[in-house]
């Protein structure tokens, strides 16, 4: 459920008509709903009720300071994957003891940054990383809390580019080597080994892969405890999918996921951490764009809009489906049209949808991409020298720009001319 509904035929973000935002900030833009962000965070929090837990929002999904602050004030922790994300989380007021640091390639500088600023734990992904972390902690006279990310070799049944839990993926250490790697970690004085981490992929639409992975984590917990490791925290990653198309079967709910977590891992009496990103931010955001032209091709009509692949890369990158709807509902009974919906960027990959059936729209009218809140703005670029599009946050009947569109001068002046020119 989200808070983008039609009222009197006009799409609203909470209590704000979307055309009002378009008039104020220009198109294209991203708009997020505070109520949806909070609702989704709370669904996870409630799903784990009765366990000692922390929901660490995977901020890679949407990392604007205003979004982070909204979630942090509701009690969320953050899952970060770079020094930049760590500093962004801190800048939004998230205390270090609510930040977990994931990722396969943390540098010594990033590790130092987090140890200096405070960290809940590092999710370590390899032996060489463990050694760098140990040496860095010792050189600073501190002890780094860690979990070790294991790769359970489970098929997450999602798009290949976002599956992470198979043995051919770069993530985690093979679960078959876990006992040796934990033994090695226990011998490193700069590390405090507190738990296990697992994350098998993103946009999962079934619970079965989680079940397989979490059963393996439960077995591993018991084996490690038997060897004397004090396993007391399980970080279970993120990945629960969202319904992108309104007619498809909805993925499992956070409550069903929470029940699975309790069923497979509850008996271990560990603190539970989860790292959802998409399910919190995805349906909390729209990308709104204006139709520039409707162009007749040989055998189809093209809807040429002012948003492009540089603003929302998911369709080009993962063949992702986004629902695209007119912001002003057409009159009842009007015949549907069929379009290839494309942006102005100079490549054919700049296609959002092919043969999409939707109500007819005309030049100058607005369309909204649903489910664009996660992996939208954060993955955008200035390709074709198109300035990054603004982000807007709505709260009930208020809206504010939370990242402004840069001017052309700001964009151009970021480059510097070398002395010989
Ligand atoms: N934890 C870790 C360690 C992750 O790598 C990820 C996502 C998450 C949590 C959050 O997963 P989520 O709950 O959002 O599924 N750009 C792609 C998605 C990449 C996901 C990367 N890792 C897309 O647009 O579909």
- Name the closest-CA residue to atom 22, ligand 1: 202
pLDDT attached to residue 356: 97
CA of 60 to the centre of ligand 1 (A): 7
Structure tokens at 184: 């090695």
Is the model more confident about 406 or about 248? 406
169, pLDDT greater than 90: no
71, pLDDT greater than 90: yes
pLDDT attached to residue 248: 64
DSSP 328-396: BPPPTTPPPEEEEEE-SSSSTT-EEEEEEEE----TT-EEEESS-SSSSGGG---GGGPPPPPEEEEET
Judge contact between 329 and 17, C-beta under 8 A. no
- Name the closest-CA residue to atom 8, ligand 1: 238
Mutate to test the pocket of ligand 1, among 37, 59, 60, 322 (most ligand atoms within 8 A of CB): 60
Q: DSSP label at 405?
A: P
| Average of per-residue pLDDT across 246-262 | 91
CA distance linking residue 3 with residue 5, whole number of Å: 6
350, pLDDT greater than 70: yes
3-class DSSP state of 268: helix
Mutate to test the pocket of ligand 1, among 41, 80, 277 (most ligand atoms within 8 A of CB): 277
Write down the catalytic residue from 346, 357, 417, 421: 346
CA of 130 to the centre of ligand 1 (A): 23
Concerning whether 270 is annotated as a catalytic residue, the answer is no
Cis peptide leading into 227, omega within 30 of 0? Answer: no
3-class DSSP state of 135: helix
Burial of 23 (C-beta count, 10 Å sphere; 0-12/13-18/19+): exposed
CA of 238 to the centre of ligand 1 (A): 7
CA of 292 to the centre of ligand 1 (A): 33
Instruction: Kindly tell me the number of DSSP H helices and DSSP E strands found in the chain.
Output: 12, 21
Above pLDDT 70, what percent of the chain?
100
> Tell me: the pLDDT tens digits for 192-230?
999 999 999 999 999 999 999 999 999 999 999 999 999
CA distance linking residue 419 with residue 151, whole number of Å: 50
Distance of CA 404 to the CA centre of its chain: 21
Strand 10-13 to strand 233-235: parallel, antiparallel, or no bridges (unpaired)? unpaired
1, pLDDT greater than 80: no
| Average of per-residue pLDDT across 258-267 | 98
Mutate to test the pocket of ligand 1, among 203, 238, 313, 379 (most ligand atoms within 8 A of CB): 238
Structure tokens at 348: 């054919």
396, pLDDT greater than 90: yes
78, pLDDT greater than 90: yes
Total residue count of the chain as it appears in this document? 421
Residue whose entry in the numeric block shows the structure tokens 């709505």: 394
> Taking CB atoms and a 6 Å cutoff, what residues make up the pocket around ligand 1?
58, 61, 79, 102, 162, 199, 202-203, 237-239, 275-279, 314, 318, 374-375
Give every CB contact of residue 247 below 8 A, 6+ residues apart in sequence: none
Residue 123 CA, closest ligand 1 atom number: 3
Number of C-beta neighbours around residue 117 at 10 A: 15
- Name the closest-CA residue to atom 6, ligand 1: 238
Q: 283-305: b or e for each residue (b if 16 or more CB lie within 10 Å)?
A: bbbbbbbbbbebeeeeeebebbb
CA of 296 to the centre of ligand 1 (A): 38
> Tell me: the pLDDT tens digits for 276-331?
999 999 999 999 999 999 999 999 999 999 999 999 999 999 999 999 999 999 98
Structure tokens at 185: 């970690």
CA distance linking residue 373 with residue 323, whole number of Å: 13
Mutate to test the pocket of ligand 1, among 71, 273, 278 (most ligand atoms within 8 A of CB): 278
347, pLDDT greater than 90: yes
CA of 91 to the centre of ligand 1 (A): 22
Residue 246 pLDDT class (50, 70, 90 cuts) = confident
E strand or H helix at 43? helix 34-47
Residue 376 pLDDT class (50, 70, 90 cuts) = very high
Angle at 59 between CA 53 and CA 64, to 5 degrees: 130
CA distance linking residue 49 with residue 266, whole number of Å: 11
CA of 217 to the centre of ligand 1 (A): 20
């Amino acid at each position: 459920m989200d808070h983008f509904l039609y009222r009197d035929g006009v799409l609203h973000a909470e209590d704000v008509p979307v055309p009002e935002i378009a008039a104020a900030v220009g198109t294209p833009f991203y708009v997020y709903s505070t109520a949806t962000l909070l609702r989704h965070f709370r669904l996870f929090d409630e799903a784990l009720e009765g366990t000692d837990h922390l929901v660490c929002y995977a901020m890679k999904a949407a990392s604007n300071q205003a979004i982070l602050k909204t979630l942090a004030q509701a009690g969320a922790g953050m899952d970060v994957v770079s020094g930049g994300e760590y500093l962004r989380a801190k800048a939004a007021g998230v205390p270090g003891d609510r930040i977990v640091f994931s990722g396969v390639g943390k540098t010594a500088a990033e590790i130092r940054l987090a140890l200096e600023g405070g960290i809940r734990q590092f999710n370590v992904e390899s032996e060489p990383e463990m050694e760098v972390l140990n040496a860095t902690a010792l050189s600073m006279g501190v002890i780094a809390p860690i979990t070790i990310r294991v790769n359970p070799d489970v098929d997450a049944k999602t798009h290949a580019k976002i599956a992470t839990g198979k043995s051919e993926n770069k993530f985690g250490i093979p679960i078959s080597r876990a006992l040796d790697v934990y033994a090695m970690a226990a011998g490193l004085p700069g590390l405090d080994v507190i738990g296990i981490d697992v994350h098998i992929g993103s946009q999962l639409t079934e619970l079965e892969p989680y079940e397989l992975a979490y059963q393996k984590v439960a077995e591993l917990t018991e084996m490690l405890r038997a060897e004397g490791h004090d396993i007391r925290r399980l970080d279970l990653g993120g990945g629960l999918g969202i319904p992108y198309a309104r007619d498809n079967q909805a993925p499992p709910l956070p409550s069903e996921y929470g029940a699975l977590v309790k069923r497979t891992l509850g008996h271990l009496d560990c603190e539970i951490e989860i790292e959802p990103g998409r399910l919190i931010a995805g349906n909390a955001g729209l990308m709104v764009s204006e139709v520039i032209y409707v162009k007749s091709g040989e055998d189809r009509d093209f809807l040429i809009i002012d948003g492009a692949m540089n603003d929302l890369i998911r369709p080009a990158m993962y063949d992702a489906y986004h629902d695209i709807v007119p912001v002003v509902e057409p009159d009842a009974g009007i015949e549907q049209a069929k379009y290839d919906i494309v942006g102005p960027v100079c490549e054919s990959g700049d296609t959002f949808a092919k043969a999409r059936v939707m109500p007819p729209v005309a030049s100058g009218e607005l369309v909204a991409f649903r489910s664009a809140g996660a992996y939208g703005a954060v993955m955008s670029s200035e390709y074709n020298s198109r300035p990054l599009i603004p982000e807007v946050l709505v709260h009930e009947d208020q809206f504010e720009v939370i990242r402004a569109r840069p001017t052309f001068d700001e964009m151009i002046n970021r480059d510097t001319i070398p002395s010989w020119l």
